[in-house]
Amino acid sequence: MSDCLFCKMVSGEITPDTLYEDDDVLAFRDINPQAPTHVLVIPKQHIATLNDVDEIHAPLVGKMVRTAAAIARQEGFADAGYRTVMNCNADGGQTVFHIHLHLLGGRPMHWPPG
Ligand code: 5GP
Ligand code: ZN
């Protein structure tokens, strides 16, 4: 998707602050962090929203979740705890339409979220 911000990061047109990359996923720091550590984990494949995740994507989404947990360990807050979030469409607060898992850590999180 040539007009997708996160596809541009996958292609290298835009260079994010990358923490992890393999053939399937990319993890980079959010430009507007909402916690001491705020990382976005994305699939390299363009999938617009959580509503577009199909059975065939299940291993990929599993890998996104495992990548977030690995980064939480690497960043040192896995045992203290952290928050993962996937926003979907307008009411969910989604602003970039290429699915991404937010990983927020380094401070206590509140519930319910806003
Ligand atoms: P959403 O609101 O779609 O769940 O999350 C989109 C996230 O992408 C936001 O947290 C926002 O700060 C982040 N973001 C938007 N533009 C950029 C960018 O150019 N670089 C990075 N690293 N993050 C971005
Ligand atoms: Zn995309």
Q: Within a domain: residue 54?
A: yes
- Residue type at 50? L
Q: Within a domain: residue 44?
A: yes
Peptide bond into 43 cis (omega under 30): no
Global pTM reads 0.98
Strand duo 18-21 + 37-43: pairing: unpaired
- The length of the chain in residues reads 114
Is the beta carbon of 37 within 6 A of some atom in ligand 1?
Answer: no
Given CA atoms 58, 55, 86, 107 in this order, what sign does their dihedral have?
Answer: negative
In angstroms, the CA 99 to CA 112 distance is 22
Chain segment 22-60, per-residue pLDDT in tens:
999 999 999 999 999 999 999 999 999 999 999 999 999
Residue numbers of the domain that contains 18: 5-105
Q: Within a domain: residue 112?
A: no
Q: Within a domain: residue 111?
A: no
Q: Within a domain: residue 34?
A: yes
| Residues labelled as active-site residues | 100
User: What CATH number is given to the structural domain containing 25?
Assistant: 3.30.428.10
Residue 29 C-alpha to ligand 2 middle, in angstroms?
17
Predicted local confidence at residue 52, as pLDDT: 98
Q: Within a domain: residue 63?
A: yes
Q: Within a domain: residue 114?
A: no
Taking Cα atoms as reference points, which of 43, 32, 56, 54 lies closest to residue 6? 43
How many structural domains comprise the chain? 1
Q: Within a domain: residue 25?
A: yes
- Residue type at 76? G
- Ligand whose nearest atom lies closest to the CA of 38: 1
